[in-house]
């Protein structure tokens, strides 16, 4: 690798490079391949000045972005290796090329990246490249269970049929439930089965980044043309462009043009289109023309299935790996619905076990994952539930304990009782007392009512899911 902008002697710049390589490696671990390739790889560690690590980026936008979103993590990772580093500073070096979409985590593509470093005008850059797909995210490695079976089927359908019969497909669900995994799986499948099909996968934040660049260089025409030749467009985490008006405008046009040409579009979001605040009405309704599917939070069976499949993969690669089968059940019970957290727990256990060279037991699990288990245990209180529910439905907290029986108050009150029953270990009478001294039969009624309604009323189901996430998060 060349030492662009490193004005030090070769010994120390080699040290810097090594430090940065290690940092990228660790960041890939913590933030994921895609994120690093898109945002962090285009940044360079140029100097350590006193207690500051100086990072250079090609544009102010990129510097700002990385600093705001990943600054703290980068500092922590750097600090681990060089404890004297106390802060990271960003500088702007237009010569760096700042073309994150050409950046790739593996050496093979670096040569390509350097070709684009002439002054950093994106208009000079060739066509828009897809963000790299994570090789681990395939259909084969995706465990299907009740909570995600619809989303999985929709993704399969997109990957296997060429006719865009559902268009667009909108996948939504909470953090770490497999949206990105499914999109990458579609990408991999298409690459294999239809090598000529042009697949463009990018995050909505990156879409915005490119759009802002295009605006800045007054080159929105090229920006638009870049999408023309795409057969399948996948945009991840669309909630990100909510409230960003001009980006939405552009997104909308791109989106319409592609749909008119019968090109497949897949979009993901962290909630259903109508619940994304600041998403324009027309985008929202256009999204709903297609197929909208949600990924529900994992249930125990799915968590266990995922853990088993990951543990098998680890065992296949590490013949000495041994684990008490109870451990997986324990983790599936105790760790939240976020699959990323689940995987993290298993990875940590595995690292720990291979360090000390022993079989993974229940005791070891308790010890090694104490902090994770503690947060999973975090006690949610009835007060918090009332506050969040009141906020969510624009009520006063006192409405929830009042005797008012108007639907607009009674339903949220039932939701709050339902959440109190499922998220706390309080008894029915205790919950009744928490809601203005109601009888325990009222609580039972509320819990049953909400359980039933949730099956048919998807809006309510969404509300509850969102509240649950906020309370547990
Ligand atoms: P999201 O994009 O919804 O936040 P991701 O797709 O990034 O979530 O998933 C988080 C992690 O969990 C990834 O490592 C992914 O491989 C894993 N994961 C999620 N769901 C499943 C599943 N059903 N089977 C196997 N792995 C999964
Ligand atoms: Mg994702």
Final residue of a structural domain among 354, 376, 398: 376
Q: How far is CA 351 from CA 137, 314, 365, in A?
A: 22, 11, 12
Q: How far is CA 424 from CA 383, 410, 421, in A?
A: 11, 21, 6
Residues 410, 346 share a domain = no
| Residue 107 belongs to some domain of the structure | no
User: What CATH number is attached to the domain comprising 54?
Assistant: 3.30.300.180
Residues 237, 154 share a domain = yes
| Residue 33 belongs to some domain of the structure | yes
CA distance 171 to 414: 29
CA distance 172 to 187: 18
Give the pLDDT score at 22.
92
Residues 405, 336 share a domain = no
Q: What is the pLDDT along the chain (473 residues), one digit of tens a residue?
A: 444 443 343 447 788 989 999 999 999 888 877 778 778 888 899 999 999 999 998 777 778 878 888 888 899 999 999 999 999 999 888 766 544 433 333 333 333 333 333 333 333 344 567 888 899 999 999 999 999 999 999 999 999 987 888 999 999 998 899 999 999 999 999 999 999 999 999 999 888 888 888 887 777 777 878 887 799 999 999 988 888 888 888 888 888 888 888 899 999 999 888 888 888 888 888 888 899 999 998 988 999 999 999 999 888 988 888 888 899 999 998 887 689 989 999 999 998 888 888 889 999 999 888 888 876 666 789 999 999 999 999 999 999 999 999 999 999 999 999 999 888 878 889 999 999 999 999 999 999 999 899 888 988 988 998 898 788 76
CA distance 157 to 6: 49
Closest atom of ligand 1 to 137 CA is: 16
CA distance 135 to 429: 52
| Residue 252 belongs to some domain of the structure | yes
| Residue 117 belongs to some domain of the structure | no
Q: Which residues pair with 169 in a beta bridge?
A: 266, 291
How many domains does the structure of the chain reveal? 4
Final residue of a structural domain among 376, 405, 440: 376
Q: Which domain holds residue 403?
A: 382-472
Give the pLDDT score at 118.
34
In testing the pocket of ligand 1, which one of 175, 340, 346, 347 has its CB within 8 Å of the most ligand atoms?
A: 340
Residues 363, 251 share a domain = no
Atom 14 (ligand 1): residue with closest C-alpha? 340
| Residue 183 belongs to some domain of the structure | yes
Q: In terms of C-beta density within 10 A (0-12 exposed, 13-18 middle, 19 or more buried), how is residue 335 classed?
A: buried
Residues 441, 348 share a domain = no
With beta carbons less than 8 A apart as the criterion, state whether 12 and 59 touch.
no
User: What CATH number is attached to the domain comprising 204?
Assistant: 3.40.50.300
| Residue 460 belongs to some domain of the structure | yes
Residues 219, 198 share a domain = yes
Residues 164, 283 share a domain = yes
Atom 9 (ligand 1): residue with closest C-alpha? 178
What radius of gyration do the chain's Cα atoms show?
A: 25
Our separate counts of H helices and E strands in the chain read 21, 8
| Residue 105 belongs to some domain of the structure | no
Which ligand gives the minimal distance to the CA of 338? 1
Atom 5 (ligand 1): residue with closest C-alpha? 178
Final residue of a structural domain among 92, 108, 125: 92
């Amino acid at each position: 690798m060349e030492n662009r902008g490193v004005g030090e002697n070769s010994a120390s710049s080699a040290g810097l490079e090594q430090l940065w390589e290690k940092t990228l490696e660790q960041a890939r671990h913590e933030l994921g391949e895609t994120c690093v390739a898109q945002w962090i790889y285009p940044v360079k560690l140029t100097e350590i000045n006193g207690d500051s690590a100086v990072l250079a980026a090609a544009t102010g936008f990129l510097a700002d972005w990385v600093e705001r979103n990943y600054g703290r993590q980068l500092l922590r990772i750097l600090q681990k290796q060089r404890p004297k580093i106390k802060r990271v500073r960003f500088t702007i070096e237009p010569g760096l090329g700042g073309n994150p979409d050409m950046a790739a985590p593996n050496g093979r593509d670096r040569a390509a990246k350097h070709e684009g470093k002439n002054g950093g005008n994106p208009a000079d850059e060739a066509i828009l490249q897809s963000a790299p797909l994570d090789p681990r995210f395939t259909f084969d490695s995706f465990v299907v269970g009740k909570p995600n079976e619809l989303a999985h089927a929709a993704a399969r359908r997109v990957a296997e049929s060429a006719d865009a019969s559902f268009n667009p497909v909108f996948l939504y669900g909470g953090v770490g439930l497999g949206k990105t995994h499914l999109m990458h799986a579609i990408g991999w499948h298409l690459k294999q089965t239809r090598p000529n099909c042009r697949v463009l996968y990018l995050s909505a934040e990156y879409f915005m980044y490119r759009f802002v660049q295009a605006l800045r260089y007054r080159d929105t025409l090229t920006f638009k043309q870049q999408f023309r030749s795409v057969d399948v467009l996948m945009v991840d985490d669309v909630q990100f462009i909510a409230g960003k008006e001009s980006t939405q405008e552009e997104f909308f046009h791109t989106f319409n043009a592609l749909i008119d040409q019968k090109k497949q579009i897949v979009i993901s979001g962290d909630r259903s289109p109508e619940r994304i605040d600041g998403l324009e009405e027309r985008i929202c309704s256009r999204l709903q023309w297609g197929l909208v599917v949600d990924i529900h939070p994992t249930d125990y069976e799915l968590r266990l299935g995922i853990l088993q499949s990951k543990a098998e993969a680890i065992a296949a690669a590490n013949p000495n790996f041994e684990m008490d089968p109870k451990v997986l059940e324990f983790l599936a019970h105790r760790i939240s619905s976020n699959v990323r957290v689940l995987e993290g727990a298993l990875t940590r256990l595995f690292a720990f076990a291979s360090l000390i060279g022993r079989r993974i037991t229940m005791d070891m699990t308790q010890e090694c994952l104490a902090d994770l288990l503690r947060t999973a245990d975090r006690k949610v209180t009835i007060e918090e539930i009332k506050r969040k529910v009141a906020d969510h439905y624009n009520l006063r907290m006192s409405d929830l304990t009042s005797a008012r029986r108007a639907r607009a108050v009674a339903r949220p009150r039932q939701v709050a009782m339902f959440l109190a029953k499922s998220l706390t270990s309080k008894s029915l009478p205790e919950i009744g007392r928490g809601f203005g001294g109601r009888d325990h039969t009222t609580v039972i009624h509320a819990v049953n009512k909400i359980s039933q309604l949730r099956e048919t009323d998807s809006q309510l189901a969404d509300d509850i899911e969102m509240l649950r996430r906020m309370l547990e998060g």
